[in-house]
């Protein structure tokens, strides 16, 4: 494909293309990458707004630190006990008005993951729907 006679559009090949860098998109991209897939993530939002309509950008790849009081208040409200646990915990914390701080860390990715991409992504979407449609206590 050519734009003009002198400009050629580069072609790229990926195993997976994820459109949207919200929580679901990021979960899908993470699961695909951990399974060894090459991927492209298309996101139009500025960096400060990535991660969907939450104020945090990474729910599953980081570390969580809570005070005992905060953990005792939030953890019993989390319904998921699988991969969506982290996302749900952070979404509930945000909805309840807790301050969330992101601190960058060095991360070494384990490419020998046992994550099932489709199942994990679908479970994350189901979790997001549940969290968004059920009132928080």
pLDDT of residue 78: 92
Mean pLDDT of 51-60: 64
Kindly give the residue spans of alpha helices, DSSP state H, lying in 48-134: 68-74, 85-95, 117-133
Judge whether 91 and 44 are in contact, CB under 8 Å. no
Sign (positive/negative) of CA torsion 119, 123, 124, 125? Answer: positive
* Half-sphere exposure (Cβ direction) of 44: Cα atoms closer than 13 Å: 1
Judge whether 60 and 87 are in contact, CB under 8 Å. yes
Mean pLDDT of 77-96: 88
φ/ψ bin of 20: left (φ > 0), alpha (ψ from -120 to 50), beta (otherwise): left
Residue 77 pLDDT > 90: yes
pLDDT digits (tens, 9 = 90+) for 18-43: 877 776 777 777 788 888 888 887 77
What pTM, to 2 d.p., does this model score? 0.57
Average pLDDT of the chain to the nearest whole number: 78
With 0-12 CB in 10 A as exposed, 13-18 as middle and 19+ as buried, what is 47? exposed
Residue 83 pLDDT > 70: yes
pLDDT of residue 70: 93
pLDDT of residue 69: 93
């Amino acid at each position: 494909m050519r734009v003009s006679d002198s400009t050629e559009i580069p072609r790229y090949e990926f195993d997976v293309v994820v459109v949207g860098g919200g929580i679901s998109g990021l979960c899908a991209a993470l699961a695909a990458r951990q399974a060894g897939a090459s991927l492209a993530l298309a996101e139009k939002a500025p960096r400060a707004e990535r991660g969907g309509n939450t104020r945090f950008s990474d729910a599953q790849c980081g570390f969580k630190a809570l005070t005992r009081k905060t953990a005792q208040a939030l953890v019993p409200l989390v319904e998921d006990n699988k991969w969506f646990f982290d996302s749900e915990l952070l979404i509930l914390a945000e909805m309840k008005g807790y301050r969330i701080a992101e601190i960058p860390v060095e991360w070494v990715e384990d490419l020998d993951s046992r994550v099932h991409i489709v199942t994990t992504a679908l479970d994350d979407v189901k979790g997001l729907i549940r969290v968004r449609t059920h009132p928080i206590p």
